Amino acid sequence: MRVHVIGLGGAGGRIADRLAADSDGDRFLQGVNAFDTDAAALDALRSIDESRRHRFGDAAGGGGLDGDLHAARRLGDAHASELGRAMDDQQPSLAEAFVLVVGLGGGAGAGAAPALAEELTRLYDVPVYAVGLLPTPAESEPREPDSPRASATDDSGERPPERPLAEKNAARTLDALSDRCAAVFPFDNAEWLRPGEGIADARDRLNAVVTERVAALFGAGEADDAESTPQQVLDASDVARAVGDDGEIAAVGHATQAVEPPESGSRFGLGLFGSAEPAAVDTSEAVSAIETTIRKATRGKNTVAVPEGRADRTLLVVGGPPAWLNREAIADGRRWLADETGSGAILSGDAPVPGGEEVFALVVRSGIDEPPRIREIRESIA
Ligand SMILES: Nc1nc2c(ncn2[C@@H]2O[C@H](COP(=O)(O)OP(=O)(O)OP(=O)(O)O)[C@@H](O)[C@H]2O)c(=O)[nH]1
Ligand SMILES: [Mg+2]
């Protein structure tokens, strides 16, 4: 499907920038923008063309809002139509969905996202999805002094928290986005950190994970050439059916396995596509690669924890070199997934990648029980 991705605030801008770098020219990325009040943060981006970065809210004086969600909401409301217009040169009316990417615990991005979601909903008839980065518990806790001589300490020897209001901002922003977006995809930063790591140390790695999953989900079914047109095309309405339009949260699992490209010299392979060229892929190897990636995508770390793995609706995408996409193995995987998640509905599609060197599986679950970290965040304002 074709999406227009908008990164809001520091984190959102970095992830949109990375998506622009990794998916440059891919058809699914219909448009991409970065919006922030912070001129320096926008300047630090590398891949989004300058004309697609937009600083808004002169009242912020060209800086960030330091987590002041109240001020940020006011700016977002005042500038939402300006942000909508800043997207116009990329033909947003061709997008099949909008994807807002935002750090939920901050100021500028979290404050502007609900107003922009509302504006896009008013202007266009397609879903607005949000990818929301959850703050870590450590961001709102007093920090250990870096060293015995750490300078900026208070009387207790602790430094003040990095973002004292992160959890409360996130709770309010989750509520606001659930009201205004078709679905929210949380990414639980803390789950992806190693012991002792902070977001600042790990952000490139975290952002690579977010970017890869966003591209795998929205890029599936948007092949660039005719040979890779999937047999079972995943389209925008499949995604919409899987994640609903009620602002529910959805979790994304993903796994890959490196495979040998087929030897026959054919880019097209056999497998699903019944090409005349026999492809030299061993069936049992293909079956095992598919089974393994589906299981890993399901049971491995998701973007947010799924209690008991249960979901009302599940979407499965299997991709890779066509010769490796064994149809029976995919059908078996679907049955296993229905059992594993208890989902009445499993939607699925394939994403052939001619000449690709890995098989991947993507599993999206919606209608899940509240993940513990989301509950903790919501309770911070209860
Ligand atoms: N995954 C990821 N999360 C980040 C990154 N940077 C910040 N975050 C998270 O996002 C939250 C908001 O941070 P920013 O995006 O910098 O905030 P902002 O929207 O620019 O808001 P202000 O700077 O306060 O105006 C933080 O509390 C972190 O939890 C990043 O690069 N990657
Ligand atoms: Mg900022």
Note whether 203 and 261 are same-domain residues.
Answer: no
Confidence at residue 150, expressed as pLDDT on a 0 to 100 scale: 42
User: Residue 124: left (phi > 0), alpha (psi -120 to 50), or beta?
Assistant: beta
**pTM for the full predicted model:** 0.93
Note whether 205 and 294 are same-domain residues.
Answer: no
**Do 4 and 92 touch, CB atoms closer than 8 A?**
yes
Confidence at residue 266, expressed as pLDDT on a 0 to 100 scale: 46
Please report whether residue 378 resides in a domain: no
Ligand number nearest to the C-alpha of 16: 1
Please report whether residue 225 resides in a domain: no
Please report whether residue 345 resides in a domain: yes
Confidence at residue 147, expressed as pLDDT on a 0 to 100 scale: 45
Note whether 188 and 326 are same-domain residues.
Answer: no
Please report whether residue 132 resides in a domain: yes
Note whether 290 and 179 are same-domain residues.
Answer: no
**Do 228 and 222 touch, CB atoms closer than 8 A?**
no
Q: Give the Å distance between the CA of 212 and the centre of ligand 1.
A: 19
340 marked as part of a ligand binding site? no
139 marked as part of a ligand binding site? yes
Please report whether residue 231 resides in a domain: no
Domain that holds residue 76: 3-219
CATH number of the domain residue 78 falls in: 3.40.50.1440
Give the chain's residues under pLDDT 50: 147-151, 264-267, 269, 276-278
Identify the residues whose C-beta falls under 6 Å from ligand 1.
Answer: 9-11, 14, 36, 38, 64-67, 103, 105-110, 133, 135, 139, 163, 166, 189, 199, 203, 206-207
Confidence at residue 235, expressed as pLDDT on a 0 to 100 scale: 87
Confidence at residue 143, expressed as pLDDT on a 0 to 100 scale: 77
Count of domains observed in the chain: 2
Confidence at residue 162, expressed as pLDDT on a 0 to 100 scale: 85
Nearest C-alpha neighbor of 370 from the set 107, 134, 106: 134
169 marked as part of a ligand binding site? no
Note whether 265 and 186 are same-domain residues.
Answer: no
Confidence at residue 327, expressed as pLDDT on a 0 to 100 scale: 93
Note whether 30 and 151 are same-domain residues.
Answer: yes
Confidence at residue 276, expressed as pLDDT on a 0 to 100 scale: 45
CATH number of the domain residue 297 falls in: 3.30.1330.20
Please report whether residue 376 resides in a domain: no
Both tokens of 28, joined, read: 């699914």
Note whether 113 and 185 are same-domain residues.
Answer: yes
* Residue with tokens 């998916």, as numbered in its chain: 23
Q: Give the Å distance between the CA of 113 and the centre of ligand 1.
A: 13
